[in-house]
Chains A and B, each alone.
Chain A
Amino acid sequence: MYRIGQRVRVSARPHEGHHRTPGYVKGKIGRVERMHASFTNPETRAYGTDGLPKQPLYLVAFSQRDLWPGYRGRAGDQVYVDVFEHWLEVAE
């Protein structure tokens, strides 16, 4: 489990099957904003299973500047992405 405010990195591991982690946050560091709840796992449910066990889903905030090279917006601009716990790692 991650706590609110914790810095986390999204895994950049290769993954061939169905998953919902957007490519533009893979390998990027963000901050846990909130833990939504636990939900059935779309990675297994997409193949006709019940998707159990449920997986915790977090709202993670990323600085726009960390995501886009040459970002020209305001320094504090953020983007919020829902990421399942098994895609997150502790960021140093």
Chain B
Amino acid sequence: MARGVHDLGGAPTQAPIDRSEHQLADWELLMDALVGTLGRRGLMNVDELRRGIESMPRAEYERASYYERWLYSVESILAEKGVVAAGELDARLGT
């Protein structure tokens, strides 16, 4: 049975698990606040956030950090819902 990229319970690994605490960067705090605001405004809920994360291509999912996954999901879900236009964020960033 195909499992989602996130569905890792029981999967064997030799990779070490980093259990150290770390300071959150400013953008990570903003990411958390943004998702909270989107929820309160009714633009995006936590299940959509999770779907966006769990729909990431496997290689990107495995490479991304926790809040990078949130960022990926918010961008893709808001574009899917038409809250932002495709390419709008890139255009504003001048990339």
Contact = CB atoms under 8 A, between A and B. Distances in A.
Contact of A22 (B2, B7, B45, B81): B7
Contacts of A51: 47
Contacts of A67: 10
Query: Is the interface on chain B under 10, 10 to 19, 20 to 34, or 35 or more residues?
Result: 10 to 19
A18 B47 contact: yes
Interface stretch (A42-50, A53-61, A84-92): A42-50
B81 A23 contact: no
**Chain A interface helix/strand/loop/mixed:** loop
B9 A48 contact: no
B1 A26 contact: yes
**Chain B interface helix/strand/loop/mixed:** loop
B32 interface: no
Contact of B9 (A12, A14, A23, A42): A23
Interface of B: 1-4, 7, 9-10, 45, 47-48, 50-51, 54, 81
28 contacts: A12-B1, A14-B1, A14-B2, A18-B47, A18-B50, A18-B51, A20-B50, A22-B7, A23-B3, A23-B4, A23-B7, A23-B9, A23-B10, A24-B9, A24-B10, A42-B47, A42-B50, A45-B48, A46-B47, A46-B50, A47-B48, A47-B51, A48-B45, A48-B48, A48-B81, A51-B47, A67-B10, A68-B10
